[in-house]
Structure 1
Amino acid sequence: MTVSLEQLRRCHFAVDLGAARTRIYVKGAGLLVDQPSAAAVNTRTGALIAVGEFAEQMMGRTPDYIRVVRPIAGGTVVDIEMAQRMLRQLLGDKTRRALRRNLRLRAAACTPHDADPLAQRATTETLVGLGARKVELVDTLIAAAIGCGLPVERPEATMIMVCGAAATQVAVLSLGSIVTAERIPVGGEAVDHAIVQHLRHEHELILPSQSVRPLQLALSGNGLTAQGPAQTEIHGRDVATGLARSVRVDTAAVREAIQTPLTGVLDGIGKVLRACPPDLVADLADRGITMVGGSALLPGFDEMLREATGMPVHIAERPDICAAQGLGEMLEGRIEPLVLNPLAA
């Protein structure tokens, strides 16, 4: 593997910093935190008002002196101080005190594929601010593959697609390492934006921020497939009058609007397959693609990929927490490294 399993076994907790949600795994206790990556701050006093689920509910509903911020964007920390304050509150005093009893506190964290040194340093400094003496960084692709049970240590190809809020990462893994990978700047947020723009231009309707979720809009049932519902009712605000209004939306038109950002994902899969050795591509014809990440639950997304690539497409059992589970598996020492037996002389 590209990371040392022995060093990861010495870590006491692991953090999966996502654009949408933050997850914290504590060794021996399991996944303790799974909350939105959001914090509400009083701009007059600088006091932290709320974090996680409550802070996200406040988004778009606060007075002028309260600001809801997201200190993490695309899996990268953009505000170190706010990220530290958010993580302290999410962990809670009891857990923080228990972790600080370790004089050589070690932490692990997921980083996006090909994250630049500045982004890696921001993640490291964030966890050092929580008391970690040593921080191990793990590629999100490897952590997610381990978390969903893929045989990454074997000399055979496994293809994983991490569908995040800000980006989609596609990779082919073999012998515990990344053979070829691609990071596409298209995620769940791009799909949300495409739906918002379609409703604004075609129906002159503005949606509340809390309602901009594909699963809560027109993509119920079979979603992206033609077998989905023909129409659905959407509630929002009229662009001209500002009054509340409901419209009947043709889901076929919504599916067409969503195709544009999702086409970028298909292009990324094509690049990965073209750069992959032929022997590994032959393995993938049988095993197909495993989808993880919160956006993998977009109804009909897997069917669209299946039709476009001609390969089997599977969604992990708990796609949203696979990366955190993978970190936990490595922390608990449940992953054994591949042992090569040299030929006898």
Structure 2
Amino acid sequence: MTISLAQLRRCSAAVDLGAARTRVYVKNQGLVVDEPTVAAVNTRTGSMLAVGAQAELMDGRTPDYIRVVRPVSNGTVVDIDMAQRLLRHLVGDKLRKTWRRRPTMRAAVCLPYGSEPLAQRAAVETLTGLGARRVELVDTLVAAAVGCGLPVEQPEATMIVVCGAGTTQVAVLSLGSIVAAETVPVGGNAIDHAVIQHLRLHHELMLPNQSVRPLHLMLSGDGELTPGSTEVHGRDVVSGLARSVHVDTERVRRAIITPLTAILDGIGAVLRRCPPDLVADLGERGIMLAGGSALIPGLEPMIHEATSMPVHIADQPGTCAVQGLGAMIEGKVQPLHLDPMAP
């Protein structure tokens, strides 16, 4: 993947194709697109009916001839044609025509750590379909670390945990490169699934996917601000009728501990592969949490208890990767020059 800042400065756009949200950063304009990576398609005619937030509202509420599509899974484009159509509608005609007038337009895109060549090719083909003549690939971990304001280019350790919808990436960086990294197949979707399964098994209630996020906000409260139980609306498993139940928040917290433990295992594996000097740096600097699922209730205190290191959450965890990539293409990141010594 691209590690040259000089090549990134030639790009005019930065794209973060996530499983949950798609973000586009245009040089000298900032973040212009931040929408869910969802599209609604009419299967009879093949026409696109809605994209982004409007299409996400249709999920689970459509007739048979309308299909809600998610063209990106775990940070990898699984449907190139649909991803191109989604981006084409999100960026708008005016911005797309501006790109096409530039014969040497370049774009940069974030990809998960250790992406397979097929995943890299799918991302390149998706952006070339929008008019990009060249596509630069950047690790999401590096871009997110830059977006969080970490001193990535310095000879000291920085640790970042990027919690996405499908996966969680953990890495220790120094001198602008990844020293050790691990990808855990657990993310926000796994936490949502654990909550849904808990309600199904213990309350015989089927919960819509869009009702899980408000439940997360309720779980993230502290102390007396959080009620002992909350009312949840769903469908009864046996009768199929609408039903409401009062859910114990503490039991739901215990239900999501199992998937969160996998993230702790990934952090431990990365720390064991790091040199002692870098681990000593992390004892003072701590761990930075980024990604759209960084605000999962219980994640921050659990990591602090397991590692005894300070844990920080980025100011805007969801947009760290695209903001960091935007800072790279605008030349705001200065590399550390290491000139070879004379013989």
TM-score by length of 1: 0.96
Contact 1:237 / 1:243 at 8 angstroms: preserved in 2? yes
Distance 2:205 2:30 in 1: 43
Q: How does 1:260-339 map to 2 (within 5 A)?
A: 260-339=258-337
Q: Residue 257 of structure 1 aligns to which amino acid in structure 2?
A: A
Q: Residue 47 of structure 1 aligns to which amino acid in structure 2?
A: S
Q: How does 1:1-345 map to 2 (within 5 A)?
A: 3-213=3-213, 215-216=215-216, 218-222=218-222, 228-343=226-341
Q: Residue 332 of structure 1 aligns to which amino acid in structure 2?
A: E
Secondary structure at 2:319 match in 1:
helix
Contact 2:39 / 2:68 at 8 angstroms: preserved in 1? yes
Secondary structure at 1:183 match in 2:
strand
TM-score by length of 2: 0.97
Assess, with a 3 A threshold, how the Cα gap between structure 1 residues 176 and 166 changes in structure 2: closer, same or farther: same
Distance 2:200 2:217 in 1: 14
Contact 1:218 / 1:254 at 8 angstroms: preserved in 2? no
Shift of 1:213: 2.1
Contact 1:144 / 1:322 at 8 angstroms: preserved in 2? yes
Shift of 1:160: 0.2
What are the superposed Cα offsets for residues 311-342 of structure 1, whole Å, 9 maximum, x if unpaired?
Answer: 10000010000000011001111111111255
Distance 2:2 2:119 in 1: 18
298-307 vs 46-55, which moves further: 298-307
Contact 1:226 / 1:252 at 8 angstroms: preserved in 2? no
Assess, with a 3 A threshold, how the Cα gap between structure 1 residues 202 and 249 changes in structure 2: closer, same or farther: same
Secondary structure at 1:186 match in 2:
coil
Task: Kindly tell me the number of residue pairs found equivalent between the two proteins.
Answer: 343
What are the superposed Cα offsets for residues 112-165 of structure 1, whole Å, 9 maximum, x if unpaired?
Answer: 000000000000010011111100000000000001100000000000000000
Assess, with a 3 A threshold, how the Cα gap between structure 1 residues 107 and 161 changes in structure 2: closer, same or farther: same
Aligned-pair Cα RMSD in Å: 1.6
Structure 2, unmatched stretches of 5+, are none
Distance 1:24 1:154 in 2: 28
Distance 2:224 2:188 in 1: 21
Show structure 1 runs of 4+ deviating over 3 A.
214-218, 225-229, 341-345
Structure 1, unmatched stretches of 5+, are none
